[in-house]
Amino acid sequence: MRLGIFGAGYVGLVTSVCFAELGHTVVAADKDREVVARLADGVPTLYEPGLENVLRANLRAGRLTFTTSTTEALQRGEIVFLCVGTPGRADGRADLSQIDEVVRSIAPMLNGYTLLVEKSTVPVDTASCIIRALRRLTGARNGYEVASNPEFLREGSAIEDFMHPDRIVIGADSPRAQALLLDLYRRDFACPILLTDIKNAELIKHAANAFLATKISFINMVADLCERVGADISIVAQGIGLDHRIGPHFLQAGLGFGGSCFPKDLKALVRIAEDLGVDFGLLREVERINEARAARLIKTLNEALWVLRHKTVGVLGVAFKSNTDDIRNAPSLHVIPQLREQGVLLRIYDPQAAFKIATQFPAEAGLQYVPSAYEAAKGAHALLILTDWDEFRSLDWRQLRSLMRTPVIIDGRNLFDPAAMHARGFEYYSFGRKHTQEPPDADMPERAEPAHGFHTAASRIDPLPTVAGGEDD
Ligand code: UGA
């Protein structure tokens, strides 16, 4: 099929390269000339595993074109996807001005049947507003339709998520629009394809993100309980997740959620509900819990180091999650300035996102960007783990410990087994698990602990696999 894509940001770019990879002819339009020039040269504008290869292969194959001309994307596409940004406004509502801009720019050029498909996350009923605007601008409704086909990809695994989704949601209000979108997907995707109307589809996206965020805040509150009572959140989460009605995913406790989606979509859904006379206070609480996580980490650091002023702290990871250079709403944006205000000297390392955070917090005498985790540990009184990068799981802890002034680790992502870190000689603090404060005493016999694991028929205990991430060796 011939597809037009408006917007070459995260969703637009991944959608463009993936549809091209599936054999469709894609014209992607973006108003940013520099972005278009770079992409046309095969240079990704964002870090995403696997993106560069697919981008280059499809440019070479001639299936993928980037342009600044909306006319070109519109006229060469049988289906046109709206993938422009829908950022949050100061009042929490979604800013739909980029969608409005696209609608106004294409209205005069609509000629023949065009299906405009919302792919960006939009408030429920946005399609009705688009249709109303187009009707006003074109004088008639003939010749175009609007549909909703929300995207569920995650940053860091976007290509994989696009190619192997759990489900595809097609929201259309006419058989023709529905059939066109179904034709686009059914050949290549074996997952369930949910056919529904536009409003349901729009709401599914917001509700899915809000539910996942709720799961994270829920488990973070249980983690706080665990910490108070001396229980272990990774085992509690596992025990909960074994119930198939709950499932094991998104129960990783720690610093909470960031990124360009959950925080913005939560706020937007609260406002949508409010505007419709529904009090979705639950989601306000989810937000409140999440916003308190960074302060909790700093409190733990304070307790561990006693006085923070003039202490050196290594920061491992600033991206909001692993496998991305995205720092939007990342906990690091709160942690870094708060620690600097308290006179902490920071040595920061992130495999991909350091250059982005450096634009917000430029290097200065008390804040250095360093090229490795080992450099971050040099002379440090403590290490903070803010992002779940895989490379942190396989660090040489002996070397790291020898570089640090005091062996204190505050792990905001619960990457390691506290007992193992203790055995390596660290004071190890994480979320919802026992803190191991005293250095191991060689003369003291280990106190026997009850087993944690699955009882098997052979009366053995199989150790629990870790919920997410886990031990490094
Ligand atoms: C999220 C959704 O997962 C996607 O389905 C959706 O398409 C996307 O938003 C979007 O609306 O565009 P994303 O924000 O890329 O994707 O990342 P996630 O993997 O969902 O993680 C979000 C945040 O939650 C991260 O900060 C992560 O560290 C945190 N998280 C995730 C936890 O704290 N605990 C968990 O158990 C899982």
Instruction: Return the HEC string of 160-184.
Output: HHHHCCCCEEEEECCHHHHHHHHHH
Atom of ligand 1 nearest to the CA of 255: 33
The yes-or-no verdict on residue 473 having pLDDT over 50 is no
The yes-or-no verdict on residue 141 having pLDDT over 60 is no
pLDDT band at 436 (very low <50, low <70, confident <90, very high): confident
Protein residue whose Cα sits closest to atom 31 of ligand 1: 250
Q: Is 66 in the pocket of ligand 1 (CB under 6 A)?
A: no
Q: Is 269 in the pocket of ligand 1 (CB under 6 A)?
A: no
Strand pairing class (25-29; 64-67):
parallel
Query: What local confidence, expressed as pLDDT, does residue 444 receive?
Result: 55
CA distances from 458 to 418, 450, 455, 465 (A): 28, 18, 8, 19
83 catalytically annotated = no
Q: Is 290 in the pocket of ligand 1 (CB under 6 A)?
A: no
Report how far residue 300's alpha carbon sits from residue 308's, in angstroms, rounded to the nearest whole number. Answer: 11
Protein residue whose Cα sits closest to atom 34 of ligand 1: 252
Over residues 139-153, mean pLDDT: 87
Over residues 311-332, mean pLDDT: 97
Query: What local confidence, expressed as pLDDT, does residue 465 receive?
Result: 57
pTM of this structure: 0.93
Query: What local confidence, expressed as pLDDT, does residue 471 receive?
Result: 45
Report how far residue 98's alpha carbon sits from residue 82's, in angstroms, rounded to the nearest whole number. Answer: 10
Protein residue whose Cα sits closest to atom 28 of ligand 1: 321
Q: Is 210 in the pocket of ligand 1 (CB under 6 A)?
A: no
The yes-or-no verdict on residue 468 having pLDDT over 60 is no
Q: Which of 442, 440, 461 minimizes the C-alpha distance to 451?
A: 461
Query: What local confidence, expressed as pLDDT, does residue 74 receive?
Result: 85
Over residues 60-73, mean pLDDT: 94
Q: Record the tokens describing residue 296, joined without a space.
A: 């909790």
Give, for ligand 1, the residue of 48, 149, 212 to mutate: max count of ligand atoms closer than 8 Å to Cβ. 212
> What is the whole-number distance in angstroms between the Cα of residue 262 and the centre of ligand 1?
7
The yes-or-no verdict on residue 460 having pLDDT over 80 is no
> What is the whole-number distance in angstroms between the Cα of residue 292 and the centre of ligand 1?
18
pLDDT band at 154 (very low <50, low <70, confident <90, very high): very high
Q: Which residues contact 209 (CB under 8 A, 6 or more apart)?
A: 121, 261, 262, 265, 266
Q: Is 431 in the pocket of ligand 1 (CB under 6 A)?
A: no
The yes-or-no verdict on residue 77 having pLDDT over 90 is no
> What is the whole-number distance in angstroms between the Cα of residue 206 and the centre of ligand 1?
13
Element holding 223 (H helix, E strand): helix 198-229
Q: Is 321 in the pocket of ligand 1 (CB under 6 A)?
A: yes
pLDDT band at 71 (very low <50, low <70, confident <90, very high): confident
Query: What local confidence, expressed as pLDDT, does residue 75 receive?
Result: 82
Q: Is 169 in the pocket of ligand 1 (CB under 6 A)?
A: no
Report how far residue 309's alpha carbon sits from residue 438's, in angstroms, rounded to the nearest whole number. Answer: 23
Query: What local confidence, expressed as pLDDT, does residue 454 receive?
Result: 79
pLDDT higher at 472 or 132: 132
> What is the whole-number distance in angstroms between the Cα of residue 234 and the centre of ligand 1?
19
Q: Is 262 in the pocket of ligand 1 (CB under 6 A)?
A: yes
Q: Is 395 in the pocket of ligand 1 (CB under 6 A)?
A: no
Mean pLDDT of the chain, nearest integer: 93
Q: Is 121 in the pocket of ligand 1 (CB under 6 A)?
A: yes
pLDDT higher at 306 or 453: 306
> What is the whole-number distance in angstroms between the Cα of residue 211 and the centre of ligand 1?
11
CA distances from 396 to 403, 405, 406, 409, 421 (A): 11, 16, 16, 14, 12
Give, for ligand 1, the residue of 155, 333, 350 to mutate: max count of ligand atoms closer than 8 Å to Cβ. 155
Over residues 411-420, mean pLDDT: 96
Is-contact 335 369, C-beta < 8 A?
no
> What is the whole-number distance in angstroms between the Cα of residue 33 and the centre of ligand 1?
30
The yes-or-no verdict on residue 448 having pLDDT over 90 is no
**Out of 19-28, 70-79, 306-315, least confident range:** 70-79
The yes-or-no verdict on residue 469 having pLDDT over 50 is no
Over residues 301-308, mean pLDDT: 96
> What is the whole-number distance in angstroms between the Cα of residue 10 and the centre of ligand 1?
14
Q: Is 250 in the pocket of ligand 1 (CB under 6 A)?
A: yes
> What is the whole-number distance in angstroms between the Cα of residue 70 and the centre of ligand 1?
31
Protein residue whose Cα sits closest to atom 33 of ligand 1: 256
Protein residue whose Cα sits closest to atom 20 of ligand 1: 154
Query: What local confidence, expressed as pLDDT, does residue 470 receive?
Result: 43
The yes-or-no verdict on residue 237 having pLDDT over 80 is yes
Report how far residue 138's alpha carbon sits from residue 419's, in angstroms, rounded to the nearest whole number. Answer: 68
The yes-or-no verdict on residue 192 having pLDDT over 90 is yes
